[in-house]
């Protein structure tokens, strides 16, 4: 579909319309109303049995005469149906018709001679005394009557309107067998039908074709003789009888005139006539694009019915319309739908219900064409986009004939069927598309006959001169829809550009597609097969203003313009590390990197495309600000630039002690703590420790250049109304990977973070917070290290929380993560009692609390804080001697950058080395080692550039982290392949 805000007009056979100035209706509302109507219609249909194109394919029905008498008092009928049959095989010894016990068969005769007959499930079979040969024509007469207890949902129905009875037929898809003996399939079209309807004289009848005569029977009844001279399928034969009033007008086309007779209820006369008279313009419009109305020598019209079972039904030459739907908003689109069926569905019918999209998709697209006629291209595009109901259109439009009625008449055949028509138009062009439709409707091979999808495809191929197997293979059989990623590659040395586009199906199936695009005001199309492709766009280098599918001709899952996405990991000592995800186009040569210093012009710093997804920029000035962007390179052409990263090389000194970051909002009313109260609480927790305070509300988030000065950061977000950390998680990640210690005290919103962040940074596989006041304290997993911490009932944030705290989180964590505290539930809720609500990571050194310290008892919270600072290695001024000599650890990495191996050498003054861990720039653990002692105080290890599973890792920047007697060292290494 289109991905552009402006409207692009397309040249059509009927682009000019006098109705363009009208206000467009709410197409979504119209479409939804019709969808619900169709679904209700088919819910009433019986289960469909398996079928071939013609279940009883040994005969052909040439003529049918139905002589039926309606009894409105008993709501029954009796009838004689006479069928003129041609045998299609030699030695035919029986005749069968579809049946479902809705009426009682009195007799069956062959050319006036009574036959023996047997009902078998859904078929009645009559047996001949002498066999019939192929080509012979014989007459079958069936006499039958209905039973009053068989009140039908379809077939021939009796209802009421304004206290007056009405009788009518509603037969699609399998209801014709309920009132006439027939081969109940659209494949066996009956050449001519004569219908004699006897009913009370005060009423009028409506039926197919032309009313030949009306006979007064002299007994309070009359008989109307209707004659349908064109072939008709059994489910399109109809009658309707009640106290109708007739509103008529004359339609003229190319010198030929035809009556349009609308049979309406007297109580609805004005509104019904106003609606049905709109068919005059529609008849002219559809005749202009599909060819003359196919029953121009007969009539068109409507017959109103009560509880039809659908909004309307396209009975041949006389559409039935549900009385309750006449006043609906812009019901004219239903009028348009059913009228268009006179061409697609009635004149040319489907071979079997598996191809129902050919008629319902055709009629639904005819609605879109009517919107285009009224509102120009804007109406067409809006209608088609509103018709796209997402995953509802994922099934294929082929229908399994063994499926139920609900499966066969699924909404997908209407909406996706219309989209297939629309896409075919986009593929073969307007002239070929409308020539295909008008041509096949006029072709003697198909006109008044049947066709299937393959025949429709072949006709479109003949008209267009194109091979369309690929199109119908995709859109007739596939599930899902294509999704596209694309980019534009340009070069300073060429006026052309290259379009790179990747196609994948949402349900796994491959989709080939002809995709229109607009560039610099010119419209072209390209054939895009599944997978990755590259296409030269001539003379387009000066712009990226390319609009994919400007007219919404593709039923896609999106066109996503791709660009490289750049992120950065600030480094120590004048270095900046850049990382990016691999570009969607796997055929690129690599990436170029551009750098700007202090806002100067960007300069490319790579001579050749870099075949990696990371870059270490060294020897930078820590006083300068640097900007970076990258582009992907394909055959010397470059993609559009990535986002721009602005950074300053960070020197992580970690030598200024403790920073307390107040990430809580400032409140001054109610029971919520004020900023001053929060600051005073944390000041009391610190006792005699020195610290630097940072208030996010006043100062914003602390930059890494500032955080990197401190060995420990206490980050608290203890109020219940804020979403802390969500926007700043990578800042904390960089800080901890550089060796900083981090304690987070927070309320409620850990669950707001992305699962990937929770997993990669905190090693959390799931988090939930309890919005009920149920938490009464945190139970320590080891009271010798940390104390139990109960809540403070006097400092609960909400007045209705009197005994317990709400918005406390429980964590699902890996077994390797250390649980510090578990949840103490006042209600002993088994979902919460004993669940982890605080934990500690060792590498990096992080403690995360799922409860807010501020609302806990101050004494226990203070003890906890002192224990944390001790565990973090912070010197207590009241206990520790800051002048005592400190031990050191030297870490040497060589060669650096490296390929294929990195030598890791550690020299330490104090024993206690526990582990070597290697992380990538996203903080994911790649490899861990036990150290090997080379000599006294010297350890070594060789990293082979593989992960824990032994698989080689990609080029990039990696952190080598060592734990040594509570001292953490982090050193960077660059792998360049």
Helices (H) and strands (E) in the chain, counts: 16, 56
What is the pLDDT at residue 17? 39
The predicted model gives 659-664 an average pLDDT of 89
The predicted model gives 441-452 an average pLDDT of 97
Tell if the pTM clears 0.75, that is, is over it. Answer: no
Are 438 and 446 contacting, i.e. CB atoms less than 8 angstroms apart? no
What is the pLDDT at residue 113? 93
The predicted model gives 530-541 an average pLDDT of 86
What is the pLDDT at residue 730? 65
**Which of 588, 629, 489, 584 shows the shortest CA–CA distance to 546?**
489
Q: What are the tens digits of pLDDT across the range 768-801? A: 888 899 999 999 999 989 999 999 999 888 888 9
Q: Please state the three-class secondary structure of 576-630 as a single string.
A: EEEEECCCCCCCCCEEEEEEEECCCCCEECCCCCECCCEEEECCCCCCCCEEEEE
Q: Are strands 531-537 and 497-505 parallel, antiparallel or unpaired?
A: antiparallel
**Which of 706, 711, 709, 687 shows the shortest CA–CA distance to 695?**
706
The predicted model gives 564-583 an average pLDDT of 80
- Across the chain, mean pLDDT equals 86
In the predicted structure, residue 318 carries a pLDDT above the cut 60: yes
**DSSP sequence for 503-552:** EEETTS----EEEEEEETTEEEEEEE-SEEEEEEETT-TT---EEESTT-
Q: Which of the residue ranges 742-751, 806-815, 965-974 would you say has the lowest mean pLDDT?
A: 965-974
What is the pLDDT at residue 465? 97
In the predicted structure, residue 549 carries a pLDDT above the cut 90: yes
In the predicted structure, residue 528 carries a pLDDT above the cut 80: yes
Higher-pLDDT residue of 144, 393:
144
Higher-pLDDT residue of 709, 832:
832
**Which of 959, 935, 937 shows the shortest CA–CA distance to 733?**
959
Q: Which of the residue ranges 65-79, 169-183, 338-352 would you say has the lowest mean pLDDT?
A: 169-183
In the predicted structure, residue 887 carries a pLDDT above the cut 70: no
Q: What are the tens digits of pLDDT across the range 271-292? A: 999 999 999 999 999 999 999 9
The predicted model gives 466-486 an average pLDDT of 95
Percent of the chain with pLDDT over 70: 86
In the predicted structure, residue 16 carries a pLDDT above the cut 60: no
In the predicted structure, residue 969 carries a pLDDT above the cut 90: no
In the predicted structure, residue 39 carries a pLDDT above the cut 60: no
107-116 CB burial, b ≥16 within 10 A, e <16: ebbbeeeebe
In the predicted structure, residue 315 carries a pLDDT above the cut 60: yes
What is the pLDDT at residue 799? 87
What is the pLDDT at residue 885? 47
Q: Are strands 938-943 and 902-908 parallel, antiparallel or unpaired?
A: antiparallel
What is the pLDDT at residue 150? 46
The predicted model gives 877-892 an average pLDDT of 59
Are 502 and 511 contacting, i.e. CB atoms less than 8 angstroms apart? no
Q: What is the pLDDT confidence band of residue 342, given thresholds at 50, 70 and 90?
A: very high
Q: What is the pLDDT confidence band of residue 48, given thresholds at 50, 70 and 90?
A: very low
Q: How far apart are CA 504 and CA 394, in angstroms?
A: 14
């Amino acid at each position: 579909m289109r991905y552009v805000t402006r409207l692009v007009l397309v040249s059509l056979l009927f682009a000019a319309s006098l109705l363009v100035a009208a206000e467009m209706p709410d197409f979504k509302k119209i479409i939804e109303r019709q969808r619900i109507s169709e679904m209700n219609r088919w819910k009433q249909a019986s289960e469909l049995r398996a079928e071939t194109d013609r279940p009883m394919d040994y005969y052909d029905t040439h003529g049918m005469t139905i002589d039926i008498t309606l009894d409105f008092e008993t709501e029954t009928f009796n009838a004689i149906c006479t069928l003129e049959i041609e045998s299609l095989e030699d030695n035919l010894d029986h005749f069968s018709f579809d049946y479902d016990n809705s009426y009682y068969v009195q007799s069956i005769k062959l050319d006036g001679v009574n036959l023996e007959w047997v009902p078998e499930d859904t078929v009645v079979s009559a047996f001949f005394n002498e066999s019939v040969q192929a080509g012979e024509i014989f007459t079958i007469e069936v006499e039958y009557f209905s039973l009053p207890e068989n009140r039908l949902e379809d077939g021939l129905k009796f209802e009421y309107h304004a206290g007056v009875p009405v009788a009518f037929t509603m037969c699609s898809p399998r209801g014709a067998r309920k009132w006439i003996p027939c081969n109940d399939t659209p494949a066996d079209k009956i050449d001519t039908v004569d219908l004699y309807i006897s009913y009370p004289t005060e009423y009028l009848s409506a039926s197919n074709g032309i009313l030949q005569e009306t006979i007064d029977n002299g007994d309070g009844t009359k008989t109307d003789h209707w004659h349908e001279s064109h072939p008709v399928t059994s489910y399109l034969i109809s009658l309707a009888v009640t106290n109708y009033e007739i509103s008529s007008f004359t339609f003229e086309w190319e010198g030929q005139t035809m009556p349009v007779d609308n049979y309406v209820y007297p109580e609805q006369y004005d509104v019904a006539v106003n609606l049905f008279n709109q068919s005059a313009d529609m008849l002219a419009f559809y005749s202009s694009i599909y060819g003359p109305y196919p029953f121009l020598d007969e009539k068109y019209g409507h017959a109103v019915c009560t509880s039809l079972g659908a909004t309307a039904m396209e009975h041949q030459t006389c559409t039935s319309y549900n009385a309750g739907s006449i006043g609906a908003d812009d019901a004219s689109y239903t009028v348009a739908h059913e009228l268009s069926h006179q061409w697609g569905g009635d004149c040319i019918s489907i071979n079997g219900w598996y191809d129902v999209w050919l008629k319902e998709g055709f009629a639904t697209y005819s609605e879109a064409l009517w919107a285009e006629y009224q509102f120009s291209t804007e109406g067409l595009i809006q209608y088609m986009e509103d018709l796209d109901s997402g995953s509802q259109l994922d099934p294929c439009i082929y229908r399994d004939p063994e499926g139920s009625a609900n499966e066969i008449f699924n909404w997908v055949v209407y909406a996706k069927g219309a989209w297939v028509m629309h896409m075919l138009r986009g593929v073969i062009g307007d002239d070929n598309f409308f020539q295909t439709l008008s041509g096949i409707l006029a072709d003697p091979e198909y006109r008044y006959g049947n066709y299937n999808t393959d025949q429709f495809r072949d006709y479109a191929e003949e008209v267009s001169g194109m091979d369309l197997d690929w199109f119908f293979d995709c859109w007739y059989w596939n599930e899902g829809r294509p999704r596209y990623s694309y980019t534009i590659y340009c070069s300073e040395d060429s006026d052309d550009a290259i379009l790179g586009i990747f196609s994948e199906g949402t349900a796994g199936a491959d989709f080939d597609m002809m995709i229109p695009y607009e560039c610099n005001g010119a419209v072209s199309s390209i054939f895009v097969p599944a997978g990755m492709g590259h296409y030269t766009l001539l003379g387009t280098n000066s712009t990226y203003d390319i609009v994919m599918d400007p007219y919404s001709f593709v039923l896609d899952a999106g066109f996503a313009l791709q660009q490289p996405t750049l992120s950065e990991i600030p480094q120590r000592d004048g270095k900046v590390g850049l990382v990016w995800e691999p570009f969607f186009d796997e055929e690129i040569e690599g990436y170029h990197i551009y750098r700007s210093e202090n806002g100067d012009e960007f300069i490319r710093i790579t001579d050749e495309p870099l075949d990696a997804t990371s870059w270490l920029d060294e020897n930078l000035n820590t006083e300068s600000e640097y900007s970076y962007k990258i582009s992907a390179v394909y055959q010397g052409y470059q993609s559009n630039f990535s986002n721009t990263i602005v950074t300053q090389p960070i020197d992580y000194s970690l030598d200024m002690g403790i920073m307390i970051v107040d990430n809580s909002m400032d409140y001054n009313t109610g029971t919520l703590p004020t900023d001053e109260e929060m600051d005073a609480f944390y000041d009391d927790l610190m006792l005699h420790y020195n610290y630097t305070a940072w208030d996010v509300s006043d100062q914003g988030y602390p930059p890494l250049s500032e955080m990197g000065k401190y060995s420990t950061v206490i980050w608290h977000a203890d109020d219940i109304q804020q979403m802390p950390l969500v926007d700043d998680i990578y800042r904390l990640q960089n800080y901890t990977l550089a060796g900083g210690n981090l304690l987070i005290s927070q309320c409620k919103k850990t669950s707001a973070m992305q699962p990937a962040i929770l997993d990669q940074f905190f090693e959390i596989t799931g988090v939930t917070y309890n919005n009920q006041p149920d938490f009464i304290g945190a139970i320590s997993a080891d009271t010798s290290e940390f104390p139990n911490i109960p809540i403070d009932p006097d400092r609960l944030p909400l007045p209705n929380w009197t005994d317990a705290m709400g918005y406390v989180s429980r964590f699902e964590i890996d077994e390797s993560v250390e649980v510090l505290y578990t949840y103490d539930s006042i209600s002993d809720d088994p979902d919460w009692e004993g669940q982890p609500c605080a934990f500690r990571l060792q590498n990096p050194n992080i403690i995360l609390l799922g409860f807010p310290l501020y609302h806990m008892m101050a004494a226990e919270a203070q003890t906890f804080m002192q224990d944390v600072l001790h565990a973090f290695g912070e010197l207590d001024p009241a206990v520790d001697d800051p002048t005592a000599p400190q031990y050191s650890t030297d870490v040497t990495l060589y060669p650096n950058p490296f390929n294929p191996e990195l030598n890791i050498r550690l020299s330490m003054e104090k024993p206690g080395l526990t582990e070597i861990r290697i992380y990538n720039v996203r903080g994911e653990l790649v490899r861990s080692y036990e150290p090997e002692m080379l000599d006294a105080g010297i350890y070594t290890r060789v990293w082979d550039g593989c992960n824990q599973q032994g698989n080689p890792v990609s080029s990039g920047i990696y952190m080598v982290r060592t734990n040594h007697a509570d001292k953490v060292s982090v050193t960077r290494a660059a792998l360049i392949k």
